[in-house]
């Protein structure tokens, strides 16, 4: 059976030709990338998906955003949700087009005692304002640096000029042409040179774990992790410093790092722990194939979207209302102005702090 698929509104670096979704579909079907799709896979980076009202729309939550089932027919994401047969939960870092984490993990027996004598810690970030974690990790880095020097290799707090290649080759140019597809490999090479990595997410949400935890684990650099309070669901909490256990006390977290930095036996024990927990869903790819196959076998028919036409802030709702002539520029401008006012309030508040 041939099915037509389109990927749109995806993050830079996403490869529509090679990703876990198209691989799952190709287990059972002849898949063709098409501009007249049966299935549209979309994310949060645009609203092109609105141009396909007759296609089945599948939302990929590869950012800390929950699915809006008034926009999508089905969704795949990180959150522990239940919505009948319309939602599938994926393990972390399985929809970004990168190689699978556990297939790239170096063998634990390769870790030698020389790892204890590496430089102390790194801090690699380009975002200084978006999300609670952006502020917290800067404050944590400053406090920990009172104990020992920390190499800050990214734009935020940079003290190593040219320390690491940025994800985007041209400053303030967030385009596909500017995106460096080799950034992850370069970052891993860098992390391997450090005992510790400050690994703070932008936000703390149950279930939301990104490369910020996974990359240092891959590089055998102990992560100092803040973010998903339930990270121990998939990752062994004895394999990293889990800040959720310190109740937000930055000083207690600093003391935990210092204690580990000064105890070679305990540090090496943590470094040599297999990082995945016993509840990690190995074989999840089979579940993904079954989930997508059910969509295909049901006939690939869209569900009604907001059939009562309530005016909400969903992209689909505004798009539909505009096309039907039921809302106009005044409503759109008012809504946009409210968003800008909130952003200005946030920026001014941050500046005062």
Task: Say yes or no: do domains 1-91+281-305 and 102-271 share a fold.
Answer: yes
Provide the angle, in degrees to the nearest 10, between the axes of the packed helices 315-323 and 329-352: 150
Provide CB contacts within 8 A for 282, sequence distance 6+: 102
What predicted TM-score, i.e. pTM, was given to this entire model? 0.81
Percent of the chain at pLDDT exceeding 70:
78
C-alpha gyration radius of the chain: 22
Round to whole Å and give the CA distance between 103 and 196.
22
Confirm if 14 and 42 have CB atoms less than 8 A apart: no
The CATH architecture of the domain made up of 102-271 is: 3-Layer(aba) Sandwich (3.40)
Residue boundaries of the structural domains of the chain = 1-91+281-305, 102-271, 306-353
- Model confidence pLDDT, tens digit, residues 109-150: 678 999 999 999 999 998 998 899 999 999 999 999 999 999
Round to whole Å and give the CA distance between 248 and 292.
40
- Model confidence pLDDT, tens digit, residues 169-191: 555 444 444 444 567 778 888 99
- Model confidence pLDDT, tens digit, residues 310-349: 656 566 556 666 666 666 667 667 766 766 676 676 566 6
pLDDT of residue 276: 87
Confirm if 206 and 230 have CB atoms less than 8 A apart: yes
Q: Structure tokens of 336? A: 């946009």
Confirm if 77 and 61 have CB atoms less than 8 A apart: yes
CATH fold for the domain made of 1-91+281-305: Rossmann fold (3.40.50)
- Which DSSP symbol is given to 242? E
Beta-sheet strands, E only, within the chain: 2-8, 30-33, 39-42, 56-60, 74-77, 87-89, 121-123, 151-152, 196-200, 222-226, 241-242
pLDDT of residue 353: 45
Strand order in the sheet with 222-226: 151-152, 121-123, 196-200, 222-226, 241-242
Q: How many CA atoms are closer than 13 Å to the CA of 279, on its beta-carbon side?
A: 8
- Model confidence pLDDT, tens digit, residues 52-99: 999 999 999 988 889 999 889 999 999 999 999 999 998 886 655 444
Strand order in the sheet with 87-89: 30-33, 2-8, 39-42, 56-60, 74-77, 87-89
Cβ burial of 214 (10 Å; 0-12, 13-18, 19+) is buried
Question: Between the CA of residue 103 and those of 87, 282, 285, 336, what are the distances in Å?
Answer: 26, 11, 13, 44
Task: Please compute the mean of the pLDDT values over residues 242-268 and round it to a whole number.
Answer: 94
């Amino acid at each position: 059976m041939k099915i037509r698929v389109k990927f749109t509104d995806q993050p830079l670096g996403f490869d529509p030709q090679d990703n876990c979704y198209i691989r799952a579909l190709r287990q059972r079907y002849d898949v063709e990338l098409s501009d007249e799709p049966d299935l549209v896979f979309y994310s949060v980076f645009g609203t092109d998906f609105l141009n396909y009202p007759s296609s089945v729309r599948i939302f990929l939550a590869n950012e800390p955003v929950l699915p809006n089932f008034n926009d999508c027919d089905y969704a795949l994401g990180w959150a522990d949700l239940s919505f009948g047969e319309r939602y599938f939960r994926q393990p972390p870092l399985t929809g970004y087009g990168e190689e699978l984490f556990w297939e790239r993990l170096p063998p634990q027996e390769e870790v030698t005692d020389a790892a204890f004598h590496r430089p102390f810690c790194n801090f690699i970030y380009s975002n200084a304002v978006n999300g609670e974690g952006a502020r917290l990790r800067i404050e944590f880095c400053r406090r920990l640096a009172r104990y020992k020097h920390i190499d800050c290799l990214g734009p935020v707090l940079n003290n190593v000029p040219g320390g690491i290649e940025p994800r985007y080759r041209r400053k303030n140019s967030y385009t596909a042409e500017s995106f460096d597809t080799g950034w992850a490999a370069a970052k891993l090479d860098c992390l391997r040179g450090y005992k510790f990595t400050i690994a703070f997410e932008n936000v703390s949400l149950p279930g939301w774990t990104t490369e910020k935890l996974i990359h240092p684990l891959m590089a055998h650099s102990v992560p100092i992790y803040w973010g998903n309070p339930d990270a121990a669901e998939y990752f062994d909490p004895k394999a990293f410093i889990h800040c959720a256990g310190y109740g937000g006390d930055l000083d207690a977290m600093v003391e935990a790092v210092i204690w580990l930095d000064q105890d070679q036996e305990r540090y090496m024990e943590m470094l040599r722990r297999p990082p995945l927990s016993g509840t990690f869903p190995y074989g999840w790819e089979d579940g993904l194939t079954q989930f997508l196959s059910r969509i295909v076998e049901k006939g690939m028919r869209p569900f009604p979207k907001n059939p009562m036409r309530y005016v909400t802030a969903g992209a689909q709702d505004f798009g539909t209302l505009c096309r039907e002539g039921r809302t106009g520029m005044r409503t759109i401008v008012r809504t946009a102005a409210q968003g800008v006012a909130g952003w200005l309030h946030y920026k001014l508040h941050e500046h005062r702090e």
